[in-house]
Amino acid sequence: AVVTGASSGIGYAFAEELASRGLDLVVTARRLDRLEDLAARLTRRHGVTVTPHQSDLADPAAPPRLLEFTGGMDVGLVISNAGFGLRRGPHETHNAATLTALLMLNCNAPSALAHGFIPRLRARGTGGIIFTSSVEGAIGGPYSAAYSASKAMVTALGEALWGELAETDIDVLTLCPGKTVSEAAIKQGFDASTLDDAMTAREVARLALEHIKDGPTYISSEHYATMIGQLSALPRGQALLASAAAMKKHMAARDAGRS
């Protein structure tokens, strides 16, 4: 299996889960030291081969390099997990270059990796792809505009490929987590001590693997599945205003905690 974004969070948890099930791994992320520590620990604990590959998938040249790196390997499962979000705030307040990097990592990388790995999986005759999206991709996210838009693209990509590959033995699942206790959540401005409805990354990864045949999409949190259902039942404008009000409340509490 290939796992992108494996140095922390859900990607790290996917690597742990897959190694515990006996799969050899290629793990990739920007932080090589973390990948090497992960590889050593998983190899020692589970006796699998874990190969680190340093890569910044926001660079458009990185997906082809990863495809070349894995060219001689029997890859049966691709976990396209790498991505990042931004601290909640008005769209225009974010750095333009950072927004571009977000779109390249969150959108271009999954598309490019799917484009490269699908022919190999077809030739292999069986396999799977899991895309890590988010519940934020279900509707435009006020004060999280670029991130929610990027995850909407990931969800649409995964659903479309599920349809294209439905008559093959290649499983496609788009994982849509809610709040997850992770480094990424903290960087986005969430206080880990107040994430009442959060799941652990390991739980999210485990559930995704257990539900890989239940595509096209899978919301790992019952709480957020209910919430998305409720929002979807509202007129679109009303749902967006409700989301904006909730996010304003979150940002006010966050900023008050800093003062």
What residues are labeled active site? 147
CA-CA-CA-CA torsion for 201, 156, 153, 244, nearest 10 degrees?
Answer: -80
**Tokens of residue 96, six digits:** 């333009």
**Tokens of residue 6, six digits:** 């494996």
Going by C-alpha positions, the residue among 212, 171, 198 that lies closest to residue 9 is 198
**Tokens of residue 129, six digits:** 């792809």
**Tokens of residue 191, six digits:** 């206080």
**Tokens of residue 138, six digits:** 């279900």
What 3-state class would DSSP assign to 44? helix
Q: Dihedral sign, CA of 214, 202, 154, 228?
A: positive
N-to-C CA span, the chain: 45
- Please give the Cα distance from 135 to 105 (Å, whole number): 18
Q: In the 8-state DSSP scheme, what is residue 59?
A: S
